[in-house]
Chains A and B, each alone.
Chain A
Amino acid sequence: MSPATWPRSNPLAERLLRIDPRAGSIADAHVADLPSLLGPGDLLVLNDSATMPASLQGTTDDGAPVEVRLLGEPALGRFSALLFGAGDWHARTEDRPLPPALAEGAAIHFSPDFSARVASVSAASPRFVELTFDAEGARFWSALYRAGRPIQYAYLDAPLPLWHVQTAYASRPWSAELPSAGRPLAWGLLLELRCRGVKVASLTHAAGLSSTGDPGLDALLPLPERFDIPEATVLAVREAHAGGHRVIAVGTTVTRALEGSAAQHDGELVAGSGVTDLRLHGAFQLRIADGILTGIHDPSESHFDLLEAFAPAALLREALAHAEETGYLCHEFGDSSLILS
């Protein structure tokens, strides 16, 4: 499958692959067709997290280059991070040299007035660390936005400006990478959906990293991620289900937040913040989401296993083969799929 190598100018013209698990059918459509595919009372749940400039180029005290990719902030002022050696996104992650071994207490310097220290090193891999920074609050965020760049991968054409990794409704910068399922949702489309009676609600989920370059570490993804679900969203989900309507998670991050919250509360969606380590798979019984709007995911991605919670693997493979044959594009600026009956 070919990746989209740059954002396209009109998201409504991007392709949308419809996958109907109950009918066992697939069909071609476009993002602009979404209003005709959803009905009054159906609920779209969006992830309103903005994307951090999570890639930082730094040096150790010895002057060795290291790239830090921030994954999230599980505790205030303490960031989990993945380390790479010399180089940047131009090289494929699997081709990147290993970072220098950093022990607890080691420093990484990003600029003369911005640095971090290793607070802990993961038992799983010395590339996974927790970092504390020498600034907090507005001072920290100003420094991060000055020094950091969006995380990106080698299949893209050029360095990404910050605005290309935000959705049209993003707010708090919790995500390491763009929660890309919502990227095509322009406001003209969202307001048209609302006009037709489709409900729209939000939650915040800290989307993590999609690839480390190391199959052993990739198997650990997604790591635990934090989420925050507003009361209004809980009520909207309840109202949709009570009326016999469908709840559509926009993206795997929204699915993790909804199902993760329910898994922690005896199957009930509960308002508030939390951290989920939920991993979805084919045998998982979905409690909240009836369908998902997501990208075009290859079987090699961890997202693919997750999608098996929504549709049988055979149908997903058939859909993927069709997508590949007919030129759908994958990855964060690629085309979309809607798995919904």
Chain B
Amino acid sequence: MNQSESSGDQASNGGAGPLAGRAVLITGASQGLGKALAEELARQGAHVVMVARDPAALEAAAHAIRRSGGVAHALAADIGDKDAVYPLAGAAAAVVGPIDLLIHNASTLGATPLPLLLDTACEDLERVLAVNVIGPFRLSKIIAGSMALRGKGLLVHISSDAAVNAYPGWGAYGLSKAALDHLSRTWAAELDGTGVRSIAIDPGEMNTRMHADAIPDADPATLTDPAVIAARIAALVARPEAIVNGARIEASSLAIPQEAS
């Protein structure tokens, strides 16, 4: 883990907004969808802990949220590192309190350009599974227990179309996301009745660096802005009691939220 600074509470949105005071932890929050989610949830009043490997990019993203009046804390960590996960969960709860919403957004494609499975190094597959599956399992294992004890909480797993459909070259990433989907469903089955819910969300094709790494020649004009997807997900998680436990949701099917007054 690496350093960061706490927010100035004097200018916070903590008292207003649909997500007022909700304690949120988002992995992969220095760029792309994770950063857009952190911005949107903080704008709606959530107290956000942002996690990513690169301390400078992460702190810059958290600082921007604080400057616009949100509550955001940066904790630099590699979610694929076993020894990083307990410190991360402990520090997060220390600064924002027990986590209400845990968003597993961090993921890695593995080697790029995307290789065929026959050309995939075993070590690359292991790393993809460590970041995309085992890291989320470890973090949920620590945090979901306290959610179940308090009788509320939501686990969100950011998935992909590649979890459902098999595409040449997407083997390591796709099978990790299929496993993540199943992890989400199994949490849902085991925690049913405790008040804790678990869902997977396929955000669709977005204009992010990960997409550019995977498909360099895609036309950005055909891709969705991650801020649009973040707004839809924020509207969904603002009402966890309306969420079907264990659901796998395509972001394109989510209602486009009306701007909160």
Contact = CB atoms under 8 A, between A and B. Distances in A.
B19 to A, nearest CB: 19
Contact of A142 (B75, B93, B150): B75
Interface string A129-149: 000000111110111111000
B208 interface: no
A54 to B, nearest CB: 11
Nearest to B74: A138
Nearest to A202: B149
Given A146-B1, A146-B87, A162-B87, A169 B6 contact: no
B35 to A, nearest CB: 17
A248 interface: no
Given A145-B90, A146-B87, A137 B5 contact: yes
Given A137-B5, A171-B93, A173-B94, A145 B149 contact: no
B146 interface: yes
Interface residues of A, number: 34
A172 B146 CA distance: 9
A141 B149 contact: no
B248 interface: no
Interface string A48-77: 101011000000000000000000000000
A152 B7 CA distance: 33
A142 B149 contact: no
Contacts of B151: 232
A138 B73 contact: yes
A137 B73 contact: yes
Nearest to B99: A171
Contacts of B98: 48, 171-172
A142 B90 contact: no
16 contacts: A48-B98, A138-B75, A138-B95, A139-B6, A142-B75, A163-B86, A169-B149, A170-B146, A171-B93, A171-B98, A171-B143, A172-B98, A187-B148, A190-B148, A191-B194, A200-B149
Given A139-B6, A146-B87, A162-B87, 20 more contacts: A50-B90, A52-B90, A136-B5, A137-B5, A137-B7, A138-B6, A139-B3, A141-B75, A142-B1, A142-B2, A142-B76, A142-B87, A166-B86, A168-B145, A169-B148, A172-B93, A172-B98, A173-B94, A202-B150, A232-B150
Interface of B: 1-7, 49, 73-76, 86-87, 89-91, 93-95, 97-99, 142-143, 145-146, 148-151, 194
